[in-house]
Chains A and B, each alone.
Chain A
Amino acid sequence: MKHFNLLISARSLRRAFVVASSLSLISVTSQAQTLAIINATVYTVAKQGVLPEAAVLVEDGKIIAVYSKDQMPEKIIADEIIDAKGGILTPGFIASNNLLGLVEVGAVSRTRDGSDKKADITFNASLAFNPKSSLIPYARKGGITSSIVMPHGGEGVFTGQSFVVNLSADFNSVVVSQHAVIANFGAKSKGSRAINLQTFANELEDATKALSKSKKAKAKNKDKEKDKAKSPKRAQQVINSLLNGKKTLLAHVDRATDILVLLTLKEQYKLDLVLVGASDAVLVADEIAKAKVAVMTSALANLPNSFDSLHNSLNNIAQLQAAGIKVIISNSGESHNINQLRFDAGIAAANGLAKTDALASVTANAADVFKLNAGRISIGKNADLVLWSADPFEISTKVNAIWINGKALTTQSRQDDLRNRYTSKSELPRAYIK
């Protein structure tokens, strides 16, 4: 028996959730492969906008239908049916610019895998990703279903490559390894900021020349097996993948002058560029918008923490959005508390960003920029979904249910076990409470 199909009209389900869910238990012999979430207020972050009393159908981890109230079929068939009771359903939130799975305890060096002196542009930190990290279930409390992990690498311009994970805690949770190239620009404690920009520009120029030379060589020696142009070294291949648009460049940069240099290089070499941090982006917002470059930044940065970031302000994100820039809100640098991404989005909303844009900035925008099949509730997308008790950004709200690829996951974490232990009564020492 592959499916136990529950044929029942959506209308009666709204009244009979308990029956529906207990019936669905009959299908335990086979893995539930279809899921219906009914009677939800669905924030699609897609063309359909917000759909009250809507239903979402999931099969084999993908969204296969999104029904508005008007389009609701007479019968909904699914292995499991969840009555959202009017609750808000959003795409799972996408965290970014963190070391999730690469650090367990910041000050314990043997739990840190996000950087290495030897790391260069080829640094593939996804090999070190630990899906069993205690940070992951805790992050799910904030409705986070996936993350763009960005290692800190070594000391050079390039700190390695980002990778994408889901927060299922499964051993196969790395979705894309070696995903985008990360580079550092801007103020340096020793030496000049010019060196990093210059090194990067030179690498691009040299690689372009080498490619064209190799192309010519190939054309010239088409038939001669032994004269095949020798394949470029690994680091060179990564630069080439920036030049042919296969990889995105994630550039940590703040000052406007640095941003402008990168925009010029982007134009010259047709790079797929994302600005990270980008404190001064508001000063050159028109140029960034014109270049169709996205910005990944914090919603809380409002202090002039360096001479590169004198223009930080709580309404910067609203300004960038108004200029037509796609903004990804990240709780930058944070790994243990990325569950707070929703509050950051709320604070951006409290400072001039429309709530719909704030929601996109933690879901669809990252998906678009990094070409992830997530971040929206629409047909074909991964069923990374979160059912909230109320407004997802509000502090009083909590996650009622969370699915990654259609699979329901718990938000229980080690923290809950500790709390339960120390709020239980027992005559024995607490170590006996498990």
Chain B
Amino acid sequence: MSLSSKCTQLKRVQFNPKSLSPRSVLTVLSVSFFTLTLTACLPNEKQDAKVSINKNPYPSTYQAMPSQTTLFTNATILTGTGQRINDADILIAKGKVQQVGKNLVAPEAIVIDAKGKWITPGIIDVHSHLGVYPNPQVESHSDGNEMTSPNTSEVWAEHSVWPQDPAFDTARAGGVTSLQILPGSANLFGGRGVTLRNVPSTTMQGMKFLDAPYGLKMACGENPKRVYGSRKVLPSTRMGNVAGYRSAWLAATEYKREWDKYERDYDAGKNVVAPKRDLELDTLMGVLNDEILIHNHCYKAEEMAVMVDLGKEFNYHSGTFHHGIEAYKIADLLAENGNCVAMWPDWWGFKMEAYDMIEENVAIVDAVKNSCAVVHSDSSTTIQRLNQEAAKVMFRANESGFSLKEQDAIKWITSNAAKSLGIDEQVGSLEIGKNADVVLWNGNPFSVYAVAEQVYVDGAKVFDKYDEKYQAKSDFLLGQASNNNANKHLTHSVNEK
């Protein structure tokens, strides 16, 4: 029995004068006063300092890079809200989108003639392991999967991020301006994910997306049962997986109840003992308190349907399903429940749960009202071309009767991704007042020949394909690799195209 529940008993005694004489109440109280000096519950007693959980102990130190007012003119603009504006201008200043429209004038701005070029919001990847599974892929840096227990809700991916991963730089060259770094999928609960701004930094905190909610990585299916089943511990089956989730949520529910009660009692002026902190349960309680969003690795239709109910059973939202290969089979259910689904366009066959891939998956999920279809990478290679990943879905779907357009498909890697991460107030579209995360493409971004020419984060240029000044290079590559340098054999520089 915990001290606080003893206090509850005392309270009952105290306010039931019929069963006890005033004297006996006093006796009981005085005894408890001497034995439980710190926990006595008299309303007028002096309270100890309130114990509260610091929810942001590793705060963001991100600062936008230096920026100038910039006006892009005559571009084809995909706003990320489903709109396409031809021959349009966009003005960015003070880190924000100021104006989008035609014939804009801004005398103080740097003007970039974007005739023939396309502009989109910065690309957002909801599923990345950059920094936690970095390049080079050496054992010393393999920090993405804490495969020591089926529930490692206590680990935070941000504590593994190596900001010098050269893949941040190549992703930036592909237009990626924000990304969620997740722990791996070996565990039922893999730990917290963190959303980063894709800017060069010597610390993780310097990349951390200000005020973005944390994510909690969960995993369905083959991975947890394989990893732990082989060690003869739960789970070794899918039913074991679900039992594992339920046990954890039960414990979290209890933990939350204790903390809620502590808050209530303290606020009522009682001097109560705070529950004992538990890092694992802190994270799960964050989900129950709607502060942390679920990001659930879950391929199969029947498992996603169970996870939706699991969320209802324990009163939290089941969040975003990642790698939802079979989402097309239950698209209605997922939209109705408000789940985002993050998908690949066509990866398949590497596991049994990835066998039923169809190329129209994203489009089928997207077609339902109130849906939230997202294209993700989970790869240091494809994160560099999420525009083309989205393109594959659009064109294949249109071959089988859909009529998707560029302005629709761009949402899967911008505004819908922002919604999944809970950062859609700030980024994901080129609406006035939003953060000026902008990509200038050499042409239609849904072409195989598309390349990002310039990338902006919060109005600051962070990449320029034709200006080395804006091409960041990891400490790791400095002094030992001539990556991306034009070779003597190339008679003309690729950059001169």
Contact = CB atoms under 8 A, between A and B. Distances in A.
A430 B301 CA distance: 13
B399 interface: yes
Interface in A397-412: 398
10 contacts: A104-B349, A302-B484, A305-B136, A309-B136, A310-B477, A336-B349, A350-B451, A419-B358, A419-B360, A423-B360
B349 A135 contact: yes
Interface in A411-434: 415-416, 418-419, 422-423, 430
A303 interface: yes
B490 A322 contact: yes
Interface of B: 135-138, 166-167, 170, 222, 328-329, 346-352, 355-360, 364, 380-381, 384-385, 388, 391-392, 395, 399-401, 446-451, 476-477, 480-487, 489-491, 494
Contact of A315 (B357, B364, B486): B486
A369 B388 CA distance: 31
A336 B486 CA distance: 33
A349 interface: yes
A285 interface: yes
A336 B487 contact: no
Given A346-B448, A393-B448, A105 B137 contact: no
Given A423-B364, A423-B401, A336 B494 contact: no
A395 interface: yes
B381 A303 contact: yes
A395 B448 contact: yes
Contacts of A104: 349
Given A285-B489, A395-B391, A305 B481 contact: no
Interface string A281-321: 01001000000000000001111111101111111001110
Given A282-B487, A305-B135, A322-B487, 17 more contacts: A105-B351, A106-B350, A304-B136, A313-B485, A315-B484, A318-B490, A320-B489, A322-B490, A350-B450, A350-B451, A394-B449, A395-B447, A396-B446, A419-B328, A419-B358, A419-B359, A422-B364
A415 B357 contact: yes
A340 B395 CA distance: 14
Contact of B480 (A108, A310, A319): A310
A201 to B, nearest CB: 28
Contacts of B483: 302, 304, 310-313
B489 A304 contact: no
Nearest to B448: A346
Contacts of A337: 346-348
A304 B484 contact: no
B349 A418 contact: no
A310 B392 CA distance: 30
Nearest to A391: B448
A352 B490 CA distance: 8
Contacts of A304: 135-136, 166, 476-477, 481, 483
A307 B476 CA distance: 11
Given A303-B167, A350-B451, A422-B328, A315 B356 contact: no
Nearest to A423: B364
A343 interface: yes
Contact of A396 (B222, B395, B477, B487): B395
A107 interface: yes
A304 B141 CA distance: 13
A351 B487 CA distance: 13
- Which 5 pairs from chain A and chain B are nearest by CB? A346-B448, A322-B489, A336-B349, A106-B350, A352-B494
B351 A106 contact: yes
A310 B494 contact: no
A207 interface: no
A394 B394 CA distance: 13
Contacts of A336: 347-350
A286 to B, nearest CB: 9
Contact of B400 (A311, A350, A423): A423
Contact of A105 (B352, B380, B481, B485): B352
A415 B481 CA distance: 42
A347 interface: yes
B364 A319 contact: no
Bin chain A's interface residue count.
Answer: 35 or more
Given A107-B222, A350-B448, A418-B356, A311 B482 contact: yes
B349 A105 contact: yes
Contacts of A302: 170, 384, 483-484
B117 to A, nearest CB: 15
Contacts, number: 140
Query: A304, A310, A314 — which one has the most chain B CB atoms within 10 A of its CB?
Result: A304
A147 to B, nearest CB: 16
Contacts of A347: 385, 448
Contacts of B350: 105-107, 336
B136 A107 contact: no
A304 to B, nearest CB: 5
B400 A419 contact: yes
Contacts of A301: 381
A137 to B, nearest CB: 13
Contacts of B360: 419, 423
B404 to A, nearest CB: 12
A105 B349 CA distance: 5
A415 B490 CA distance: 42
Contacts of B381: 300-301, 303
A88 to B, nearest CB: 15
A6 interface: no
A323 interface: yes
Contact of B487 (A108, A285, A312): A285
A103 B351 CA distance: 11
Nearest to B393: A395
A315 to B, nearest CB: 5
Nearest to B331: A422
B125 to A, nearest CB: 15
A108 B354 CA distance: 11
A183 B352 CA distance: 30
A395 B482 CA distance: 31
Contacts of A323: 489
A322 B492 CA distance: 10
Interface string A264-286: 00000000000000000010010
Nearest to A324: B489
B348 A319 contact: no
Contacts of B385: 347
B490 A319 contact: yes
A290 to B, nearest CB: 13
Contacts of B388: 343, 395
B449 A346 contact: yes
Query: A343, A416, A422 — which one has the most chain B CB atoms within 10 A of its CB?
Result: A422
A346 to B, nearest CB: 3
Nearest to A351: B494
A320 B139 CA distance: 31
A315 B358 contact: no
B359 A415 contact: yes
Given A322-B489, A336-B348, A305 B137 contact: yes
Contact of B448 (A285, A320, A352, A394): A394
Contact of A310 (B481, B487, B490): B481
Contacts of A311: 481-483
Contacts of B329: 422, 430
A423 B449 CA distance: 32
Nearest to B401: A423
Contacts of A346: 448-449
Contacts of B477: 304, 310
A300 B401 CA distance: 31
A156 B491 CA distance: 42
Contacts of A343: 388, 448
A69 to B, nearest CB: 28
Nearest to B450: A350
Contacts of B480: 310
A300 B451 CA distance: 14
A401 to B, nearest CB: 14
Nearest to A355: B449
